[in-house]
Structure 1
Amino acid sequence: MLRRTETGTWLPAWVPESTLILSFLLMISSMVQSATGGYDGSMLNGLNILPSYTEYFKLNNATTGLNTASVFIGGFLGPLVSGVAADRLGRRPAIFWGSWITIVGIIIQTAAQNIAMFVVARIILGFGSAITGIAGGIYLSEVFSSRWRAWGVGLLNDFYYIGALIAAGITLGTGQWQSTWAWRAPSLFQAIFSLLCILTLPFIPESPRWLVHQGYYSEARISIAQANANGDLSDPVVLTIFKEIVDTLKWEKEVGHSMSPVEIFRTPSARKRLLIGMSPGPFSCIAGNIIASYYFGSELDTAGITNTNDQLKANVVLNAWCLVCCLFGTQLVAKWGRKPTAMLSQLLLSACLFIIGGLSKLYAADPQGASSALIYGNVAVMYLFQGFYSIAWTPLLYLYPPEVMNYSIRANGVAFSSFALNALALLFTFIMPIGLGNIGWKMYMINGSWDLVILGLIAYFWVETKGKTLEEIDALFEGAKHSAIPDVEEIRAGEKEIDVSKVEEQLMAELSYSK
């Protein structure tokens, strides 16, 4: 059964009464960024291996890097408008328009006749993907309950490998075609995720935090009830969440917090939240996975596996392995915590990079005499590296930033984080083929050293957000929670109770609110 729900925007909603069904739709609607991104990385991995693609564009190391990295030009332009768009238009409309922009870029990419057209298309694609990714991550973090947020938001980026697996399979199949459709067909199929997102948006509610901030109180309470209690407006958990949101956003307005992009730098607390919250973007980019995400073929070349078909098959297996690891990592993040999972992942990544560098050096010293054990041992560690990366950074990339940032800086802060990620990714995807060509195994040693530095920064600066609502996380930065109502998980677990009638009276007096 669907219920017509007001959203405070031009985009209406008919929301299912079942919270379980709604939760599934929430993840589908916002998976577009990670699925599109995963598909894009895996597709380019496959295309960079295909002669029909490299010969059509007459690629060298520099133009290969440009074709691949151009998506990140749009990726760091998109955040310049995405935060403002999500705050002013609403979370759902921002996802809607970003999805359509992505589709336009994909169509132009499929029809590309030269490098310039291909690059422009990927800039548009990256621009749209950045908008949907930022709005989607914020939206999910604000709609999901605290008990499901790690899985609900973590799975958003876990879908990266769903897209990657599909792309790997498609490029493996089309790779045998003797025409430009060997690379055009995989490119065109990339639009399916954005289309699926657009079709799902009419069946999910708007963010309750955005609705409260805009003054749509009854609509916000309905949204909370739909996402937490099958639409029951009188459920104690629903009332607790609603009261927390109302009290916290009221406090932010009273102390002068604004929705301006400048707000992310205005106060010491905002700057601290920004630095910690934006760190997963740069940290995950520097970690070293860009080599395998976009230049896995070159990585296999350094290990001695040069057959095109073997490389395409290895790409499929890699993405399946990473999917398993990121799902395991999401469970670790939910049960063990964000900070310890990230620290474990960084330690393992650094060890893998040093081992890969050493093995690649041995192979480079005597390619003809290299044993099969050396070659396949190197590939095995490459697989371990990507798996260890997926354990922490895949779920945390979209989960941690919106958790750390309060409402007034959340959209613009997450946008700034995405800007930093894409700026670094643009740099690294462009220089990686050049670096691998010039210094080979030394690139791995450099990356391994960076990862040890990142490990220390996480250990010293990060805060743990597991099991808290977005409003309760304020106490970690402000020293106090801005609502007197008990924590949500205490109510849910039955450890504390609230007087429903009294809370109703408080809300009615404060907001002139009627059920």
Structure 2
Amino acid sequence: MGVGAAPTTSGTGTVSAYEQLLDPNRKWYNNRRLISLHAWVVLLLITASTNGFDGSLMNSFQSLKQWEDYFDNPHGSMLGLLNAIQNIGSLAAYPFAPYLSDGIGRRRTIWFGACIMLIGVGVQTGARSLSMFIGARFCIGFGLTFATNSAPLLVTEIAYPRYRAQLTSLYNSLWYSGNIIASWTTYGTEYMTGSSWSWRIPSLMQGIPSILQFFLVLLAPESPRWLISKGRDDQALKTLAYYHADGNELDPLVQYEFNEIKTAIELDRELDRNTGWKSLITTKGNRRRMIIIVAIAWFSQWSGNGLVSYYLNKVFDTIGITSPTIQLLITGILAIWNLFWAVFASFLVERVGRRPLFLISGAGMFVCFLLQTVCSARYAITQDQPAAHAVIAFIFLFYAFYDLAFTPLIVSYTVEILPFSLRAKGFNVFNFTISVALIFNQYVNPIALEHIAWKYYIVYVCWLAFEFAFLWFMIIETKNLTLEETAALFDGKEVTQRIAQTGVKEVHTEDFVDEKGSA
């Protein structure tokens, strides 16, 4: 049994076994098995699209006169409830989601969540009353928790090592693909004046990802790590071999991955036999993990972006842009802008590194939000139209910096720093924190905007300064490491050395060339 040694980049020719065992000729576009694997990954990634669709849906509906008229113009606390109820539904499912992910497997948990979401979408589309609409959104949030708990775990656990970080980062980035579809669909249906189908059609389209997952996800490969944790080693080895080495179970990369995963899981069990909720805080390494995970989850929703994500129309009102058509148009353009930057950043994670992206993102958000606040104040005091236009510009710039880290990295960084035994529970804490932050925002933001308008932005300016300081001192770089090597960073030298001494030595460049027969 064995796993790889810690990677090095010294000038001695010694490199990580993980890096050297990758076949340089096996690319995602020229290998049939990898193309098939990535097709399954796309099926998992669209879970984030469902989430993004819902986030934009309520923002768009609030700019849609037909929806407001149908439900008697909800405002104040009722509007807060409408935006928060999906996350309240998510909260109700959090106690169960990790147990299903670890118990019945990643695939079955996603399928279960898709079933519940389809019920919710059906009720939402056919809603005849506000209470029926609220109940449907609760149901969607409840089902979404199961899918979002398992989908990114399965992506990161089945991905080919060369593409793992990028694909896992793409998961949350594709939140904006759903955001785009919802924004532009609602922009188009706005012209269906006098018809409730102007909002029922966007509601119906929310179910498309869940329909695909309902029929297909059980055919996808299961996580080799989950299979090994259940004692199904042969099936795990076959899965790794089929997708990562064209079916060759003796391929050096497959053997390396299999042994590393198996050893790490056994070591987790040896060091901490209790993998319950308490284990998340029983060791120094785990406590640091949870502090980082809770912090970046909260930051992702409490950096001022919550004002735009759910109450953009209220922000527009503060700068004099009240036309529903213009509001919906800007919302749609902003969604495309966000998708571009988030996907762009996803492909930088292994080139630039996690820590630089987090720091650039934090600094940029602070500067842009500060300037947005100044321009909002100027417009409120002087009614200066250029200041209003500048607010829109700074919203776009703010999101460009936000999307460098807080769209692609918050999920991928969370799942990679957690060891397998704690991954589902730790990621559940991450999602729970996001829901709490969202519920807080969705109740507080509309009230604060209504009473103090642009002055509320000052709170976020101060908070963004704190965020940058936290990121500077707490974020650890994890670039170019396997999941097992990354998890070991938090557990000290003793664990890292134990993993490195389990049987696989460092691979030297010249040895690899001799073995493979090519330079």
- Give the structure-1-normalised TM-score: 0.89
Aligned to 1:38: 52
How far the C-alpha of 1:262 sits from its partner, in A, is 2.8
Aligned to 1:21: 35
How far apart, in 2, do the equivalents of 1:212 and 1:494 lie?
Answer: 30
Aligned to 1:400: 413
Q: How does 1:72-471 map to 2 (within 5 A)?
A: 72-177=87-192, 178-367=194-383, 370-371=384-385, 373-471=386-484
Aligned to 1:3: none
How far apart, in 2, do the equivalents of 1:283 and 1:495 lie?
Answer: 46
The answer to whether the Cα contact below 8 Å between 2:416 and 2:487 also exists between their aligned partners in 1 is: no
**CA offset digits 1:454-481 (Å, max 9, x no partner):** 1111111121111111111133122233
Matched position secondary structure for 1:153: helix
Matched position secondary structure for 2:70: coil
> 2:454 is matched by which residue type in structure 1?
W
The answer to whether the Cα contact below 8 Å between 1:77 and 1:419 also exists between their aligned partners in 2 is: no
How far the C-alpha of 1:494 sits from its partner, in A, is 4.6
How far the C-alpha of 1:93 sits from its partner, in A, is 0.6
Identity of aligned residues (%): 31
State the Cα RMSD in Å. Answer: 2.2
How far apart, in 2, do the equivalents of 1:116 and 1:172 lie?
Answer: 25
How far apart, in 2, do the equivalents of 1:266 and 1:364 lie?
Answer: 51
User: Cα distance 1:114–1:255, how it changes in 2: closer, same or farther (>3 A)?
Assistant: same
The answer to whether the Cα contact below 8 Å between 1:39 and 1:160 also exists between their aligned partners in 2 is: yes
How far apart, in 2, do the equivalents of 1:390 and 1:255 lie?
Answer: 37
How far the C-alpha of 1:486 sits from its partner, in A, is 9.6
How far the C-alpha of 1:179 sits from its partner, in A, is 1.5
Count of aligned residue pairs for this structure pair? 480
User: Cα distance 1:459–1:365, how it changes in 2: closer, same or farther (>3 A)?
Assistant: same
- Give the structure-2-normalised TM-score: 0.88
How far apart, in 2, do the equivalents of 1:68 and 1:346 lie?
Answer: 26
How far apart, in 2, do the equivalents of 1:317 and 1:396 lie?
Answer: 23
How far apart, in 1, do the equivalents of 2:77 and 2:376 lie?
Answer: 23
The answer to whether the Cα contact below 8 Å between 2:111 and 2:218 also exists between their aligned partners in 1 is: no
> 1:148 is matched by which residue type in structure 2?
Y
How far apart, in 1, do the equivalents of 2:504 and 2:83 lie?
Answer: 45
How far apart, in 1, do the equivalents of 2:135 and 2:510 lie?
Answer: 56
Matched position secondary structure for 2:71: coil
> 1:176 is matched by which residue type in structure 2?
Y
Q: Does 1:52 align with 2:66?
A: yes
How far the C-alpha of 1:256 sits from its partner, in A, is 3.5
The answer to whether the Cα contact below 8 Å between 1:106 and 1:125 also exists between their aligned partners in 2 is: yes
How far the C-alpha of 1:31 sits from its partner, in A, is 2.1
> 2:215 is matched by which residue type in structure 1?
L
How far the C-alpha of 1:496 sits from its partner, in A, is 6.0
How far apart, in 2, do the equivalents of 1:444 and 1:490 lie?
Answer: 52
User: Cα distance 1:490–1:78, how it changes in 2: closer, same or farther (>3 A)?
Assistant: farther
How far the C-alpha of 1:18 sits from its partner, in A, is 2.8
How far the C-alpha of 1:132 sits from its partner, in A, is 0.7
**CA offset digits 1:104-136 (Å, max 9, x no partner):** 111111122222222221111111111111111
How far apart, in 1, do the equivalents of 2:157 and 2:61 lie?
Answer: 37
> 1:442 is matched by which residue type in structure 2?
K
How far the C-alpha of 1:488 sits from its partner, in A, is 10
User: Cα distance 1:23–1:288, how it changes in 2: closer, same or farther (>3 A)?
Assistant: farther
How far the C-alpha of 1:381 sits from its partner, in A, is 0.8
**CA offset digits 1:221-270 (Å, max 9, x no partner):** 12222342233222111111111011111112222333323322333332
> 1:73 is matched by which residue type in structure 2?
I
User: Cα distance 1:431–1:210, how it changes in 2: closer, same or farther (>3 A)?
Assistant: same
User: Cα distance 1:460–1:163, how it changes in 2: closer, same or farther (>3 A)?
Assistant: same
User: Cα distance 1:150–1:173, how it changes in 2: closer, same or farther (>3 A)?
Assistant: same
Matched position secondary structure for 1:431: helix
> 1:83 is matched by which residue type in structure 2?
P
The answer to whether the Cα contact below 8 Å between 1:25 and 1:204 also exists between their aligned partners in 2 is: no
How far apart, in 2, do the equivalents of 1:488 and 1:315 lie?
Answer: 53
How far the C-alpha of 1:396 sits from its partner, in A, is 1.1
Aligned to 2:3: none
Consecutive aligned runs of 4 or more in structure 1 exceeding 6 Å deviation: 485-490
How far apart, in 2, do the equivalents of 1:39 and 1:357 lie?
Answer: 28
The answer to whether the Cα contact below 8 Å between 1:73 and 1:426 also exists between their aligned partners in 2 is: yes
**CA offset digits 1:30-85 (Å, max 9, x no partner):** 22431011111222111000111112222112211211111111122222211111
How far the C-alpha of 1:299 sits from its partner, in A, is 1.4
Matched position secondary structure for 2:237: helix
The answer to whether the Cα contact below 8 Å between 2:304 and 2:460 also exists between their aligned partners in 1 is: yes
> 2:86 is matched by which residue type in structure 1?
V
> 2:125 is matched by which residue type in structure 1?
T
Could you tell me which runs of 5 or more consecutive residues in structure 2 were left unpaired when the two chains were aligned.
Answer: 1-30
User: Cα distance 1:335–1:180, how it changes in 2: closer, same or farther (>3 A)?
Assistant: same
**CA offset digits 1:153-200 (Å, max 9, x no partner):** 111111111111111111011111122111111111100011122333
> 2:398 is matched by which residue type in structure 1?
F
> 2:169 is matched by which residue type in structure 1?
G
> 1:180 is matched by which residue type in structure 2?
S
How far apart, in 2, do the equivalents of 1:256 and 1:324 lie?
Answer: 42
> 2:482 is matched by which residue type in structure 1?
T
The answer to whether the Cα contact below 8 Å between 1:292 and 1:386 also exists between their aligned partners in 2 is: no
How far apart, in 2, do the equivalents of 1:214 and 1:456 lie?
Answer: 42
Residue range with higher mean Cα deviation, 194-203 or 480-489: 480-489
User: Cα distance 1:460–1:19, how it changes in 2: closer, same or farther (>3 A)?
Assistant: farther
**CA offset digits 1:403-449 (Å, max 9, x no partner):** 11111111011001111110111110121111111111122221121
User: Cα distance 1:220–1:38, how it changes in 2: closer, same or farther (>3 A)?
Assistant: same
